[in-house]
Amino acid sequence: LTKTKTKMPKQKQKSEFAHQPVLFQEVINCLQPQAGDRFLDLTAGFGGHSQAILEMTKAPGETVLVDRDSTAITFLSSKFASSGVEIIHSDFLTALRRLNHQHRQFDLILADLGVSSPQFDEDERGFSFSRPGPLDMRMDRRQDSTAEHLVNSLSEAELANLLTKYGEEPRARAIARAIVANRPIKNTSDLADVIVKASGWRGRHKKINPATQSFQALRIAVNDELSQLRQSLPLILNALTPGGRLAIISFHSLEDRIVKQFLQEQGGNTYGSQLTILTKKPLTAAHHEIASNPRSRSAKLRAAAKINT
Ligand SMILES: C[S@@+](CC[C@H](N)C(=O)[O-])C[C@H]1O[C@@H](n2cnc3c(N)ncnc32)[C@H](O)[C@@H]1O
């Protein structure tokens, strides 16, 4: 990868929306934005990556920003809409289906998966076990199903399955049993208490609070995150121009596995391969980034270029 040093955009907006883009320089180095490039950001969030890339492509009319969160969309609209950027309020799978249908292609595609800091830090959204709030966890609040709905309506076996599959939680059965015994559970603090008690955590030996995995599992289920990603990858490939570049940042092993497998299948150096892998190993945050933004600790960036046929 060619390394170029790019200035991270300053957060000029209200501090409540402060979101530090992760692996910022690494994303720029992988995508190598050029003037005139068509750019699609599938998880535009609070526009940290997008702003820097737009400053390099200087092509707002060729740029599409997608997010499923209405707060992010309001923010992106106030920040970019007057410049001619197209902003789509939708999950990225639906957006990609529409863009594929319209035969639209892009030179640069970015997906920075998961939850943004403003989503995570807002008690009302219910994403964090350490913040009191309703059991919501919907990225798109137009959808019906919430974490509260799952927690209070799934059977014990279904809950145990969900916690195992999406949280890789070894105590899933005990936690599921305790959840069912304590229903109805309406808020994050009560759920976190039930999980901590059921897992027998004393908080001393194991550093990570056991609620981390169960909350992750519920969030993935509420937002159908893995299926969104799995189904979107082939559509992303269709939406890339020959020679176009793709960068995907994931935050847990389940997501990263899906991305890695897809890139291996499509970039295998065999007949019919459509991608050249740009990151043999996923890029991760340097110590100084982790120190200033602990969220970056689990970020993994994989990138590829579409073969120019
Ligand atoms: C980590 S943040 C992105 C931050 C962004 N790169 C920035 O610099 O501000 C992830 C964003 O992706 C959005 N998101 C996650 N999954 C999505 C999906 N399937 N479809 C659309 N947006 C999604 C979330 O709502 C959130 O705003």
DSSP secondary structure of 213-239? HHHHHHHHHHHTHHHHHHHHHHHHHHT
Q: With left for phi above 0 and alpha for psi between -120 and 50, is residue 236 left, alpha or beta?
A: alpha
Which residue out of 67, 74, 296 has the highest number of ligand 1 atoms within 8 Å of its CB and is therefore the one to mutate? 67
266-291 pLDDT, tens per residue?
997 777 889 999 999 999 999 999 99
Does ligand 1 have an atom closer than 6 angstroms to the CB of 46? yes
The separation between the first and the last C-alpha atoms of the chain, rounded to the nearest angstrom, is 21
Nearest-atom number in ligand 1 for the CA of 48 is 8
Does ligand 1 have an atom closer than 6 angstroms to the CB of 91? yes
Ligand 1 midpoint to CA 291 (Å): 22
In the predicted structure, residue 201 carries a pLDDT above the cut 80: no
Does ligand 1 have an atom closer than 6 angstroms to the CB of 45? yes
Which residue out of 24, 27, 116 has the highest number of ligand 1 atoms within 8 Å of its CB and is therefore the one to mutate? 116
Does ligand 1 have an atom closer than 6 angstroms to the CB of 118? no
pTM of the model: 0.94
2-6, 261-265, 277-281: which range is least confident on average?
2-6
Q: For residue 41, what are its two tokens?
A: 């950001």
Residue 119: partners with Cβ closer than 8 Å, 6 or more residues away: 69, 71, 72, 125, 127, 139
What is the structure's pLDDT at 111? Answer: 98
Q: Measuring from atom 21 of ligand 1, which residue has the nearest CA?
A: 91
Does ligand 1 have an atom closer than 6 angstroms to the CB of 72? yes
Does ligand 1 have an atom closer than 6 angstroms to the CB of 66? yes
Q: Measuring from atom 2 of ligand 1, which residue has the nearest CA?
A: 116
Nearest residue to 59 via CA among 79, 83, 81: 83
d(CA 296, CA 290): 6
The amino acid at residue 92 is F
What is the structure's pLDDT at 309? Answer: 74
Contact 259, 247 (CB under 8 A): no
d(CA 55, CA 60): 9
**Which of the four pLDDT bands, split at 50, 70 and 90, describes residue 11?**
very low
Which residue out of 8, 63, 68 has the highest number of ligand 1 atoms within 8 Å of its CB and is therefore the one to mutate? 68
In the predicted structure, residue 14 carries a pLDDT above the cut 50: no
In the predicted structure, residue 103 carries a pLDDT above the cut 60: yes
In the predicted structure, residue 122 carries a pLDDT above the cut 60: yes
d(CA 238, CA 251): 24
The CA angle 139-142-143, to the nearest 5 degrees, is 75
Q: Which residues pair with 63 in a beta bridge?
A: 39
d(CA 64, CA 88): 7
Nearest-atom number in ligand 1 for the CA of 50 is 8
Q: For residue 5, what are its two tokens?
A: 């040093």
Does ligand 1 have an atom closer than 6 angstroms to the CB of 293? no
31-40, 182-191, 195-204, 257-266: which range is least confident on average?
195-204
